[in-house]
Amino acid sequence: MKKKLAKKIALVTLGVTLIFTSFGFKSDFFEIAKQIEIFTTLFKEINMNYVDETNPAALMDTAIKAMLADLDPYTNYWNEQDVEAARINNAGEYTGIGATVQVIDNTLLIMEPYKNYPADKAGLKAGDEIIEVEGIKVADYSEDIAELLNGYADSEINLKYKRQGEIKTTQLTRSAIKLKAVPFYELLDEKTGYIVLSRFNAKASSETIRALKDLKNQGAKEIILDLRGNPGGLLTEAINVSNIFLPKGELITTTKSVIEKYNKAYQTQKEPIDTQIPLVVLVNGRSASASEIVAGAIQDLDRGVVVGARSFGKGLVQRPKELAYGTQLKITISRYYTPSGRCIQALNYAERDQDGKAIKRAVEDYNEFKTRNGRSVFDGGGISPDVKLETSEYSSITNALLAQNAIFDFATEYYYNNDLKNPESFEFTAEDFNNFKSFLKTSNFHYKTATEQELEELLAMASKEGYEQDILDHYKSISTEIEAQKKKELDEKKHEIVSILTDEIIKRYFYKEGLYEYYVENNPEILEAKSILKDTQRYSQILN
């Protein structure tokens, strides 16, 4: 059995080698062929001779992922399920239960149920932990368990889940789910239109155009385009969205690569909708990729004012490449550059520190570029807004709170312990913030600063050299001081933490729709954007 398997693997690898020969290589063909042959023989020997039964698919999956980990986090191998998930994300439509989920600790955690879709109708809430799908225990399922939630329209699915320590069951009927690129737009006052663009799927530009035209028909004379939290998507849609506000033939971005065919200049191809209407674009630390292309073009061409906090800093372009058996390789093929010529990529994956982490460019190493009107802008660290607001920032401690779901978990506790009638009446008080800090003490939240990491490395080195006892007392003293400073940091970054806590809590009661309704009256970034648009002199001064 093993010999037949090894023979098949060798034939497949030979086929791959033959396919490779039909394309050009960036480096010496012999070296690539040599490494493929070494790997093929190694893989065959392991599967034929290892002491225990091996799983060739699992071994190959591990090998591929380990190889790609040396590149960047955006170059990924996609199995058939991943390919389908990408198609759904780009199309904005699928059939399922209508909720975002995350795999955490052998459960499927409901992050957000969509209003009036199956999960919501069945009573599922954010924070519910799905432990069984159709009798299959999530903890025992080795494949992508989240895929079991999707299926044919009108098909039923039974779930067992845990809520606040209590086990519950429910039955859902799957339906078609349509993810809007523009989930919300509204005329805020007699002339200010507000558009939320949450993703760059295939409908991004068409939905933005529809929203803009409707708002103009209602009397909008100025526009706020909200790209906060937008992770990006299709490059073509980033060009098309920019084209809404910029004339035909305008350069939006260029891509550069060591492979000549990937060096391209992307210009607007259509007649614009409105090149004169005053425009403010909102960004934050989770605005990435296509969002940064749009914000960068608007900024570089002085078409509008960018407000918020520095964007994520993803200046890399990926393209899917078809592989065998329905799989794909999503590979970084180039870097993109804004119209002024800057690449906003923040991390250099070709250079890594001793822990293997990509090196972030220091601010002093940023290069200066000029906008069309001669304003200074810089590369290397995302899109820096023209008007910065603390409430939009994501500091290290805030990112740690988000990464460990501390804010999400507190919002869950808040929801089951407080009654909230409408979003307009909500205020996250000083008492609430103290409760949040107490919650962190009893949870598993831990936050390690860069200083702590360096101190631990210093202690480890001292131990090797026999100096551990000499510096241990100093180490403990410094660690105590760092802990005290970390507690202060929570208060120092209160403005940004409270802003995110507010968002998460309001969503629990009133969904995303309620959050946007709250935004238009209370959100600091929107209020600042309105203020800038109302003050025509200030708006003009920022752009000149």
Buried b (16+ CB within 10 A) or exposed e, 138-161: beebeeebbbbbbeeeeeebebbb
CB 447 within 8 A of CB 540: no
Per-residue CA distances from 472 to 23, 447, 469, 534 (Å): 58, 21, 5, 59
CB 110 within 8 A of CB 101: yes
Per-residue CA distances from 94 to 103, 156, 179 (Å): 19, 16, 8
Neighbours of 184 (CB within 10 A): 19
Catalytic residue set:
289, 300, 314
Question: What is the rounded distance in angstroms from the CA atom of residue 440 to the CA atom of residue 384?
Answer: 31
* Coarse DSSP helix, strand, coil percentages of the chain, rounded to the nearest 5 percent: 45, 20, 35
Angle between helices 468-492 and 494-522 (to 10 degrees): 20
Question: What is the rounded distance in angstroms from the CA atom of residue 317 to the CA atom of residue 129?
Answer: 35
Phi, psi of 514 (to 5 degrees): -65, -35
Question: What is the rounded distance in angstroms from the CA atom of residue 236 to the CA atom of residue 92?
Answer: 15
- Residues listed for the chain: 544
- Quick one: how far is CA 265 from the chain centroid? 25
Token readout for 392 is: 């939009």
Say which DSSP state 73 is in: T
Say which DSSP state 357 is in: P
Strand partners for 136: 133
Token readout for 184 is: 């919300």
Which are the contacts of 542, defined by CB distance < 8 A and separation ≥ 6? Answer: 305, 386, 387, 532
